[in-house]
Amino acid sequence: MIKTLLNGEWNVSESNATVDIYSPSNKELVGSVPSLSQEELNTSIENTSQAQLAWAERSVQERGEILNKWADLLEERKEEIGTAIMREVAKNKKSSVSEVERTVDYIRYTVEDAYRLNGEVKRGDGFKGGSRSKVGLAEKAPLGTILAIGPFNYPVNLSASKIAPALVQGNSVVFKPATQGAISGIKMVEALIDAGLPKELVTVATGRGSVIGDFLVQHPRVDMISFTGGTSTGRHIAKLSSMVPLVLELGGKDPAIVLEDADLDKAAKEIVAGAYSYSGQRCTAIKRVLVQDEIADELVDRIAHKVKSLSVGMPEDNKDITPLIDNKSADYVQSLIDDAKEQGAKVVSGDTREGNLLHPTLLDNVTTDMRVAWEEPFGPVLPIIRVSSQSEAIQIANESEYGLQASIFTKNIDNAMSIADKLEVGTVQLNGKTSRGPDHFPFLGVKSSGLGVQGIRESLLSVVRDKVTVINM
């Protein structure tokens, strides 16, 4: 059994209860992690919360040095951790290793940025009637204990992007890894402890979210929650939690709007990369194409041509399309394809399946009565919706409950800017695929796609509060 970090030690659960993690590709047991009880978690969270006080007193340079050492160790162990990601979530080997490399860069940038965050000094006379002899020091103070809950699809990167800002700013962390991804998450935390972080500062809360999630979210020692995952889980957390700041990065239904003057080669290339990488299991995947009638046939041909060149198979062989996280997800994606077919959508390619390995599927003539026009598949299926005008494209784009990102493909930048203004999303990409990076850009969703902002500066600010000391001279 793999040990987790509990009460400042690498421990199993007292009851020896475990959650087994099976590989989505070959269905073999990858390992078992402790299934922790509420009592065990409670004691450990108390300890983690207590340990934060001494950590906050250390200088940001000291904290940063430990995190930089963490980055060094992750770099040294990228093959081992990348292999764990590949086995647990079936992301192809190359992308799994590059997830660790991206995390290394993320941590280093976070430390650098934390060194440069300073408070403000204000004089009282800036406000009517205020006195110049009143000086306010507005500093940033850590919130306390951050509950970091990560999703399966980036089990290392999207966890570290919560843990690193929290720690460098002087917080402690309760880390709830996605169950499918927990082994990679534990390996990542092992590197953090080997880098010199006091063990009490982190509790790794392994166990199923459906069992321990509500308890964690409502724990009185949790001072802020940073969650990435599905919209329904995010909504549930928002309802349960009380009086703590929340950052929620949730689902998406990112449209690519292709106008008649677009560079179609470029659009097709970006759309295919955006829609199908990691088999469509990305919040920022392009999940629908809204294309003007005049160029639709040509665009579909070009996309279809590129989809045919995607390789399908096992993550060890570095295939583009690999098995989905589980059969339930594959069944769900299949149900969206089947519904679209029944209602008259044309299958241009794909719609073949071996268990949870779905071939990349391109659906043309999708209409707004079909589920695939609105629901987030989290799998390798891309619907093409033909529109008669750009205003129709904007309308359909905005009718979605989601608002993560959108792409616009056109050569007319003035027009693109005016469409971008109208789109209700966190980020608009002009002539490029939707995606989170570069990681120091603000990253956010609106509507059902989230609350609050990540990024690097934004994540650092999300885990601190203002602390004002006034000198009355």
Cα dist. 116→54, 111, 130, 352 in Å? 22, 9, 30, 52
Smallest gap from Cβ 436 to ligand G3H, in A, equals: 4
Residue 164 C-beta: closest distance to ligand G3H, Å: 15
Candidates 291, 378, 457, 462; binder of ligand NAP (CB under 6 A) is 378
CB nearer to ligand G3H: give 147 or 285.
Answer: 285
* Residue indicated by tokens 């409502």: 218
Task: From the candidates 88, 190, 249, 376, give the one annotated as an active-site residue.
Answer: 249
28 a catalytic residue = no
Query: Which positions from 127 through 156 interact with ligand G3H, judged by CB under 6 A?
Result: 153-154
Choose the contact partner of 251 out of ligand G3H, ligand NAP, none; CB within 5 to 8 A by kind: ligand NAP
435 binds, among ligand NAP, ligand G3H, none (CB under 5 to 8 A by kind): ligand G3H
CB of 393 to ligand NAP, least distance (A): 22
The separation between CA 80 and the C-alpha centre of its own chain, rounded to angstroms, equals 22
The count of C-alpha atoms lying within 13 angstroms of the C-alpha of 119, restricted to the half-sphere facing its C-beta, is 16
Which of 165, 170, 445, 452 touches ligand NAP by CB under 6 A? 445
For 102, residues 6+ apart whose C-beta sits below 8 A from its C-beta are: 157, 437, 439
Residue 112 falls in the annotated catalytic set: no
The number of angstroms, rounded, from the C-alpha of 143 to the middle of its chain's C-alpha atoms is: 22
Rounded-to-integer distance, Cα 151 and Cα 146, Å? 16
Least separation in angstroms between CB 281 and ligand G3H: 7
Phi/psi at 92 (5° precision):
-65, 155
Instruction: For residue 2, state whether it binds ligand NAP (rule: CB under 6 A).
Output: no
**Shortest Å distance, C-beta 179 to ligand NAP:** 4
Distance CA 276, CA 270 (A): 10
Residue 118 interface partner, choices ligand G3H, ligand NAP, none, CB cut-off 5-8 Å depending on type? none
* DSSP single-letter state for residue 221: T
Q: List b or e across 400-427, with b for residues whose CB sees 16 or more CB atoms inside 10 angstroms.
A: bebbbbbbbbbeeeeebeebbeebebbb
Of 66, 237, 275, 387, the residue at the interface with ligand NAP (CB under 6 A) is 237
Evaluate the CA torsion angle 366, 370, 376, 378 in order and state its sign: negative
What are the residues binding ligand G3H (CB under 6 A)? 153-154, 282-284, 435-437
What are the residues binding ligand NAP (CB under 6 A)? 149-153, 158, 176, 178-179, 208-210, 213-214, 217, 228-230, 233, 236-237, 249-252, 283, 376, 378, 404, 445, 450
Active centre residues (catalytic): 249, 283
